[in-house]
Structure 1
Amino acid sequence: MTRINTNVSSLVAQNRLQSSNNDLQTSLTRLSTGLRINSGADDPAGLIASEALRSEITGLNKAISNTSRANQIISTADSALGQVSNLLNDVRGLVVEAANTGALSSEEIAANQLQIDSSLEAINRIAQTTTFQGRKLLDGSLGFQTTAGTNFSKVKDLQVDQASLGSAGKVSVDVTVSKAAEQASVDVANIPAGIEATAATGDITFTSQTAAVASTLDFTLGGEDFTLTADTAGAAGDDLSITVVASGGTGTSPVVSKSGDDYTITLASDSTATADDIATAFNTFVDANDDDATLTTTGGTTNVGAATLTQTSLAGGADAGTAETATLNITADVAGTASNIASISYVEDSGTTTPTASFDSDTGALTITVNDATNVTLSSVVDAIAAGTDFTAEIETGGDFTTFDPTITTAASANLVDGVDLGGGLAEAAVFELQGSNGSEVFNVSKNTTIDDLVSQINLVSDATGVKATASGTTLSLTSTDYGSDAVVDLRVINEAATGTLTAAVGAGKRDTGADIQAKVNGIEANGKGNSLNINTSTLDLSLTVEEGSSDNISFDITGGGAKFQLGSDVVGNQQARIGINSVNSARLGGTSGKLFELSSGGSASLANDPSKAAEIVGQAIEQVTGIRGRLGAFQSTTLDSNLVSLNETLSNLQEAESSIRDADFAQESANLTRAQILVQSGTNVLSLANQNPQNVLSLLR
């Protein structure tokens, strides 16, 4: 070509050299950055995919960081809970030790109480001071908040472990109970009503009263003694008088006359009347006139003549005194019919110096004997009755009646009540074993054991067996103290005659088990255990305990709270987890038996007040803390650890994908660089040659 205005070869060489330079520049850029895509022009689609992957990788890296942080928080809480668990175990040991009151002094038990108080303070301190970057973990601030709904008062214990509150910030919980929890129960029917043996009783009432005394007039006539006595006792005859006069006549018979209460006996001057004649004449006159006086003499046939009256004494009459009474209640020492009292009698005996009492078991006669010449105290009669082996006595009433003269005392028995022998109850002696969820006990009962006695014996060890007894008429009901499928009542008759009451009711034995509560939570079948139920889904994990045997439906709302952890790369509900960590202070730890603070000094479950209740509360508190630790551990191992592994694997895959799109292949780019370098060198040489062609054309002009 001989044209010089347009050097086509040079233009072609320039274009190719520019292209080679561009290729060289691209290779150098990729090799220097390590990236295949350094701008959108390099690979628009690849850039879009790469940036999307980079965004996901950034989120995953933060999710991994969040998961690691959550793991550290859970580990911190678990470490503190481990110490709380150790303290609770120490408290349990102190409670069990303090129950050994037969071997421990009160000072040692008080020392144990001080240790318990110190442990409770330590638990409260741990609950308040366990923090992570200033945030408290065990004070209840990370627990879920609830709002009561229908029948929420029926809930005795509620534990929300995990809940997804979603965009609404709350979740409603509806518990529909289809069947209440049941206790195990075995009935033993037709136990005859028991008749308790009673002792025979009786009363004896003593009555002492001063007798009325008649007025008397003593006089002497002719050397012989006479006594004029009023026939009517009392003061009414005190005006009685007598006069003896001598007349001038003759005769041997006395003449008696009366004016008012004054009697006159007239004797002849030459009277030969004897003392008996005078008494007979007087008494004949009195009888004929219905008077109330009697004349007596010791003179007999002595001739008193017309002697002059000599009065020697005048004794006024006295009315009867006020009667005093005293009653003794007498009871047989041994219950039953063997000591039945047929009669209680009172005997005066001059040969008895102190009161005695004797009982004839054949006739049932109880005899009290006292001295008829000595005043007897009522207490000595009581002592005499008690001195035997059959009866005891006590003074029911007596007033001032403490001493009485047997000669003027009477007695009468009353209110005799026969004793009753033991009857009813079990027809035969029996040996039976009763087993419950807590253990078993063997009972050896005798014939006639009443249903009430059976109830008392069984309930005495109900804490060891888990079975309590009640009586309804003639039916003995044995019921488990617990509810649910673990509750059991197993009655086995080990030894009893074929005619025995237990054998007739249950044969060789009878067994029954309880039933767990059946319910749904938000339409999902819950796991029931006794009166407790729980549910664990991806959005809700809770457990609650209802009142014993309740079948009421319950509703409430979870309105907030819980520790929320962002575990995924996207801020959405299904990539988040909320876990509740309730307070572990002494006011919150415990269960249906009570709370831990009740174990402190002066509390209802302190060692001095109720160590049995203290043991129950500590046991439930240990279960509660163990449950929290187990739940946190499960969350840590199954959620956090597995999430961390999953995130790391996803991150690796995404990084590999992003690298395959965006990163430079050094082998390929090195080859491209070498090729571009060669092409640039070649293009430069070719361009040099192309530029020389016009110079060659100029040689034609030389």
Structure 2
Amino acid sequence: MVVQHNMQAMNANRMLNVTTSAQSKSTEKLSSGYRINRAADDAAGLTISEKMRKQIRGLDQASTNAQDGVSSVQTAEGALTEVHSMLQRMNELATQAANGTNSKDSDRQAIQDEIDQLTTEIDRVSETTKFNETYLLKGEAGTKTINMKAHDAGLKGTLTDNGDGTATFVMDTLNAGDKVSIGGKTYTIAGAADDVGDMLTKADITTKHQDVTINGKTYKYNAGQTGSDTAPKKDTIEAGWYAETPKDSGTGANTTINADYKDIDAFKNGADGKTIAVGTKSVSVIKDADANGIDDVDSSVISKEKAYELASKELLAANQIGDTEGKAEVTNKAGNQIDLNTNKGDGTFKIKVGQAKVANSLAFSLHVGADADMTNKIQVNIDAMDSASLGIKGLNVKDDSGNAATYAVDAISDAISKVSSQRSSLGAVQNRLEHTINNLDNVVENTTTAESRIRDTDMAEEMVNYSKNNILAQAGQSMLAQANQSNQGVLSLLQ
């Protein structure tokens, strides 16, 4: 027996310290809820957990970013809803102003007043709509020049946008006798004597002997008869076209009755200033003493060259709407302004579209990921939506003819289309963001689950360890007490 070294007590004390340490760690885990409270608890697990935490918190903020993006997009799109409503009202007003029953002064002026107010309100909405102090509809610093859409002024033909700020309009072929509508007025294309001859030849009047109408008077073909000086005597009636059916004079003399028009050449020679028709075709031969391309008697009859000149003016008027820079031009193929004499038109018009100087498009990106990857950026672009950008600045509907209002309808239609396109783009971004938010929230949930398995305390399992360590601690304390008492036996030997 020894008293210097109580090995039983030392062993019991060592085991009690181990149990106490384990019990302390269990208490820490149970009270904090974390399995890892310091790096020593699980060095690798801590590294993985912190990496996951970075991703989780980054994705949480990315989801918030996307939600803020939805709010900003909804703000812009909501404002454009009202712009759409105002444009629809302006379309109604322009259509109303185009009607010929309006008083030239008061009615169209009242319509113009409302259009002016709506245009000003569109500008105000564009200028003031903002989200978190960011103006959404007035673009951003700097300017750019945009091209208006080309218009055909309601003329029959083919309009081709060349994509470089120019367009080409090819008017349907004009033939003598054709009806053409220019600027809301209907004209008849005048012809020459040769046009009359061509029309009558194509109708084959010499074989089919069709009726020919001249200035509304009908001439019918009569085969005529051969005169005779012998009994019974009869007159010579020339074959040809007569306004009234020719009759034998009954005088008994061989008199010659000449046809009003005996052949196609006769019709051609007497065509000046007349409208000649056969079947459904007609040709008006212009009588133009002052050489202005307009018939001296009937102002609705014009030459082909005059029609092209008038068409060029209407094309210019239609393409000047929204042209704040004064760039709109309409020329012939050679690039010259069309007139009646020097630079005659041929039915092909080169159009230089109008232009407007507007603010640059607003562009911002939404960061919707936890990493510094550019694919985590969702770009949002919003064009300036003021009246100049929409091509309706200075819209006028109060001219006497109503043509300006007619052309304004096209310009407003283009503006509606542009707002629709912008709203559609914003709607597409919003839908994308909503899917992004759903995906982010799903990733956060699953990553949090994985991080929880690494970091969180399994309370049931740890409670088992705690209970075990609690019992071991009590047992260790008891054994330490017993080991300390074991040396008392030495005293009996010393008595």
TM bucket, shorter chain: 0.5 to 0.7
Alpha-carbon distance between aligned partners in 2 of 1:654 and 1:561, rounded to the nearest angstrom: 36
Alpha-carbon distance between aligned partners in 1 of 2:175 and 2:108, rounded to the nearest angstrom: 46
Going from structure 1 to structure 2, the CA distance change for 1:87 and 1:606 (only over 3 Å counts) comes to: farther
1:567 paired residue number: 368
1:599 match: secondary structure: coil
Going from structure 1 to structure 2, the CA distance change for 1:190 and 1:697 (only over 3 Å counts) comes to: farther
Alpha-carbon distance between aligned partners in 2 of 1:186 and 1:608, rounded to the nearest angstrom: 24
Alpha-carbon distance between aligned partners in 2 of 1:156 and 1:101, rounded to the nearest angstrom: 28
Alpha-carbon distance between aligned partners in 2 of 1:478 and 1:129, rounded to the nearest angstrom: 47
Contact 1:95 1:607 in 2 (8 A): no
Going from structure 1 to structure 2, the CA distance change for 1:181 and 1:698 (only over 3 Å counts) comes to: farther
Going from structure 1 to structure 2, the CA distance change for 1:65 and 1:86 (only over 3 Å counts) comes to: same
Contact 1:335 1:419 in 2 (8 A): no
1:100 is aligned to 2:99: yes
1:195 paired residue number: 192
Q: Counterpart amino acid of 2:364?
A: A
* TM-score for the superposition, normalised by structure 1: 0.43
Q: Counterpart amino acid of 1:570?
A: D
Deviation at 1:678, TM superposition (A): 1.0
Deviation at 1:7, TM superposition (A): 1.3
1:571 match: secondary structure: coil
Going from structure 1 to structure 2, the CA distance change for 1:113 and 1:12 (only over 3 Å counts) comes to: same
Deviation at 1:698, TM superposition (A): 2.5
Q: Counterpart amino acid of 2:281?
A: S
Q: What is the RMSD of the two structures over their aligned residues, measured on CA atoms?
A: 4.5
Going from structure 1 to structure 2, the CA distance change for 1:687 and 1:615 (only over 3 Å counts) comes to: same
1:128 paired residue number: 127
Alpha-carbon distance between aligned partners in 2 of 1:619 and 1:53, rounded to the nearest angstrom: 53
Going from structure 1 to structure 2, the CA distance change for 1:194 and 1:121 (only over 3 Å counts) comes to: closer
Contact 1:14 1:683 in 2 (8 A): yes
Q: Counterpart amino acid of 2:457?
A: A
Alpha-carbon distance between aligned partners in 1 of 2:85 and 2:429, rounded to the nearest angstrom: 22
- Which of 428, 441, 445 aligns to 1:634? It is 428
1:49 paired residue number: 48
Contact 2:129 2:135 in 1 (8 A): yes
1:4 is aligned to 2:3: yes
- Counterparts in 2 of 1:203-218, with a 5 A limit? none
More helix by share: 2
Deviation at 1:57, TM superposition (A): 1.2
Alpha-carbon distance between aligned partners in 2 of 1:566 and 1:24, rounded to the nearest angstrom: 47
Alpha-carbon distance between aligned partners in 1 of 2:361 and 2:128, rounded to the nearest angstrom: 23
- The Cα offsets for residues 406-457 of structure 1, whole Å up to 9 and x where unpaired, read as xxxxxxxxxxxx952389x99974xxxxxxxxxxxxxxx415579x989769
1:61 paired residue number: 60
1:616 is aligned to 2:410: yes
2:82 paired residue number: 83
Alpha-carbon distance between aligned partners in 2 of 1:140 and 1:426, rounded to the nearest angstrom: 62
Alpha-carbon distance between aligned partners in 2 of 1:606 and 1:618, rounded to the nearest angstrom: 20
Contact 2:62 2:367 in 1 (8 A): yes
- Which of 666, 671, 687 aligns to 2:459? It is 666
- Counterparts in 2 of 1:312-391, with a 5 A limit? none
1:565 match: secondary structure: strand
2:366 match: secondary structure: strand
1:246 paired residue number: none
Contact 1:98 1:104 in 2 (8 A): no
Deviation at 1:19, TM superposition (A): 1.1
Q: Counterpart amino acid of 2:270?
A: V
Alpha-carbon distance between aligned partners in 2 of 1:186 and 1:99, rounded to the nearest angstrom: 25
- The Cα offsets for residues 334-365 of structure 1, whole Å up to 9 and x where unpaired, read as 799x9xxxxxxxxxxxxxxxxxxxxxx9xxxx
Contact 2:100 2:402 in 1 (8 A): no
- Counterparts in 2 of 1:22-37, with a 5 A limit? 22-37=21-36
2:338 paired residue number: none
Contact 1:56 1:569 in 2 (8 A): yes
1:689 match: secondary structure: helix
Alpha-carbon distance between aligned partners in 2 of 1:11 and 1:615, rounded to the nearest angstrom: 103
- Which of 258, 264, 271 aligns to 1:421? It is 271
Deviation at 1:101, TM superposition (A): 2.2
Deviation at 1:100, TM superposition (A): 1.4
Q: Counterpart amino acid of 1:65?
A: T
- The Cα offsets for residues 8-59 of structure 1, whole Å up to 9 and x where unpaired, read as 1111111111111111111111111110000000000000001111111111
Alpha-carbon distance between aligned partners in 1 of 2:383 and 2:49, rounded to the nearest angstrom: 45
Going from structure 1 to structure 2, the CA distance change for 1:7 and 1:334 (only over 3 Å counts) comes to: closer
Alpha-carbon distance between aligned partners in 2 of 1:130 and 1:597, rounded to the nearest angstrom: 19
* Count of residues paired in the alignment: 348
Deviation at 1:105, TM superposition (A): 6.0
- The Cα offsets for residues 83-141 of structure 1, whole Å up to 9 and x where unpaired, read as 11111111111111111122556312211111101101111111111111222111112
Q: Counterpart amino acid of 2:411?
A: I
1:240 paired residue number: none
Going from structure 1 to structure 2, the CA distance change for 1:607 and 1:196 (only over 3 Å counts) comes to: closer
1:623 match: secondary structure: helix
- Counterparts in 2 of 1:656-695, with a 5 A limit? 656-695=449-488
Gaps of at least 5 residues in structure 1 are 158-176, 199-332, 339-360, 362-417, 430-444, 464-469, 471-476, 482-545, 549-558, 590-594
2:339 paired residue number: none
Deviation at 1:609, TM superposition (A): 6.5
1:584 is aligned to 2:385: yes
2:393 paired residue number: 597
1:115 paired residue number: 114
Contact 1:566 1:575 in 2 (8 A): yes
What percentage of aligned pairs have identical amino acids?
28
Q: Counterpart amino acid of 2:18?
A: S
Alpha-carbon distance between aligned partners in 1 of 2:400 and 2:77, rounded to the nearest angstrom: 28
1:446 is aligned to 2:281: yes
1:413 paired residue number: none
More strand by share: 1
2:158 paired residue number: none
Alpha-carbon distance between aligned partners in 2 of 1:576 and 1:617, rounded to the nearest angstrom: 36
1:697 paired residue number: 490
Alpha-carbon distance between aligned partners in 2 of 1:22 and 1:607, rounded to the nearest angstrom: 101
Going from structure 1 to structure 2, the CA distance change for 1:184 and 1:698 (only over 3 Å counts) comes to: farther
2:201 paired residue number: none
Q: Counterpart amino acid of 1:682?
A: A
* TM-score for the superposition, normalised by structure 2: 0.60
Gaps of at least 5 residues in structure 2 are 150-162, 178-189, 196-213, 220-242, 244-267, 286-300, 316-331, 333-345, 354-359
Tell me which structure has the larger Cα radius of gyration. 1
